[in-house]
């Protein structure tokens, strides 16, 4: 997929018409993630994740063309790493080696460093001085913080969305739901993970408050990482119909119901995670037994 320079921004704004060409970034990261207990142990080399290097770039004839190209490359690389993290192809804790990524994408290490800095700014990547960049690995404490923040933000998102609802916004939500259902129908786990997270980001974007939208996007992505780390294997998965119920309450402009459904939805997601009783300390005796 080739991505234009404004791809990421257009997606964030939720421009109509992007869905078919760009079936990405929509539904709730968390449910998506939740439904989809992906195999966790499979570590893949970085280059196998991004196997079509974008080295072939057009000639840079003018300074502005060069700048446009640079922005496009930056957005492309950002997007590909972001989606790989969202889809659990890059696991929490994976080291993102600058030099390898520079080779894979056919760009300078400086360019990769810029992209990693942007991801770090969004808390998706952690940069450890002297050691490098890693896919973030939220702690249990951070996970609890994320849920606390989501419980404050998401009722406000649905309320604002209802206050500002237009037929176009509703169409966007339903279009997204259709993509999500389709991905579930064909059992495309990676797409479901991504789309279910994006549902929440999309709702925040459509609500029209850019600060809420920015925060929601970050919280959705962190939730996806948390689900990978803490999803309880025995938990019942997040019900596929919950987004639909929320959308119907929004369509009916029933703010009380929409807020309640959203909070219940967040409860289900959190309850599906094993955030209690996990200790950071390793029981060495259990591992090595008695002498």
CB of 167 to Zn ion, least distance (A): 23
Gyration radius of the chain over CA positions: 20
On whether the CB atoms of residues 220 and 200 are closer than 8 A, the answer is yes
190 closest CA partner among 1, 29, 6: 29
Give the burial string for 97-114 (b: 16+ CB within 10 Å, else e).
ebeebbbbbebeeebbeb
The C-alpha atoms of residue 34 and residue 28 are separated, in whole angstroms, by 10
- Which residue number places its CB atom closest to Zn ion? 28
| Contact flag: residue 221 with Zn ion (CB under 5 A) | no
31 or 79: whose CB is closer to Zn ion?
31
The C-alpha atoms of residue 53 and residue 50 are separated, in whole angstroms, by 7
SS3 category, 252:
coil
CB of 61 to Zn ion, least distance (A): 46
Tokens at 228, concatenated: 């990978």
**Residue 177 CA to its chain's centroid (Å):** 16
CB of 97 to Zn ion, least distance (A): 33
107 or 153: whose CB is closer to Zn ion?
153
CB of 152 to Zn ion, least distance (A): 16
29 or 162: whose CB is closer to Zn ion?
29
77 or 204: whose CB is closer to Zn ion?
204
CB of 265 to Zn ion, least distance (A): 5
29 Cβ neighbours under 8 A, 6+ residues apart: 86, 193, 194, 196, 197, 198, 200, 201, 220, 221, 223, 224, 227
28 or 177: whose CB is closer to Zn ion?
28
The C-alpha atoms of residue 125 and residue 111 are separated, in whole angstroms, by 16
Residues in the interface with Zn ion (CB under 5 A) total: 2
CB of 247 to Zn ion, least distance (A): 11
**Residue 250 CA to its chain's centroid (Å):** 23
Question: What residues numbered 9-68 form the site for Zn ion, per CB under 5 A?
Answer: 28, 31
127 or 275: whose CB is closer to Zn ion?
275
80 or 268: whose CB is closer to Zn ion?
268
CB of 33 to Zn ion, least distance (A): 10
**Residues found near Zn ion in the complex (CB under 5 A):** 28, 31
């Amino acid at each position: 997929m080739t991505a234009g320079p404004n791809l990421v921004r257009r997606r964030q704004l939720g421009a109509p018409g992007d869905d078919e060409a760009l079936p990405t970034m929509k539904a709730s990261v968390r449910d998506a993630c939740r439904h989809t207990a992906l195999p966790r142990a499979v570590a893949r080399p970085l280059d196998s994740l991004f196997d079509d290097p974008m080295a072939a770039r057009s000639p840079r004839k003018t300074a502005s063309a060069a700048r446009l190209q640079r922005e496009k490359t930056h957005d492309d690389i950002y997007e590909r790493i972001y989606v790989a993290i969202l889809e659990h192809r890059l696991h929490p804790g994976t080291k993102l080696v600058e030099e390898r990524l520079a080779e894979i994408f056919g760009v300078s290490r400086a360019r990769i460093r810029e992209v990693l800095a942007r991801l770090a700014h969004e808390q998706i990547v952690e940069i450890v001085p002297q050691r490098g960049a890693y896919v973030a690995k939220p702690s249990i404490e951070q996970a609890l913080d994320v849920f606390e923040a989501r419980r404050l933000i998401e009722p406000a998102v649905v309320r604002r969305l209802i206050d500002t609802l237009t037929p176009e916004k509703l169409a966007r939500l339903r279009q997204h739901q259709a993509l999500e259902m389709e991905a579930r129908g064909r059992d495309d786990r990676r797409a479901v993970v991504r789309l279910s997270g994006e549902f929440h980001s999309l709702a925040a974007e459509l609500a029209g408050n850019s600060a809420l939208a920015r925060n929601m996007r970050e919280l959705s992505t962190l939730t996806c990482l948390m689900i990978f780390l803490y999803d309880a294997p025995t938990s019942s998965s997040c019900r596929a119909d919950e987004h639909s119920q929320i959308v119907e309450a929004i369509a009916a402009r029933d703010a009380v119901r929409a807020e309640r459904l959203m909070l219940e939805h967040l409860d289900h997601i959190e309850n599906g995670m094993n955030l209690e009783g996990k200790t950071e300390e390793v029981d060495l005796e259990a591992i090595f037994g008695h002498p």
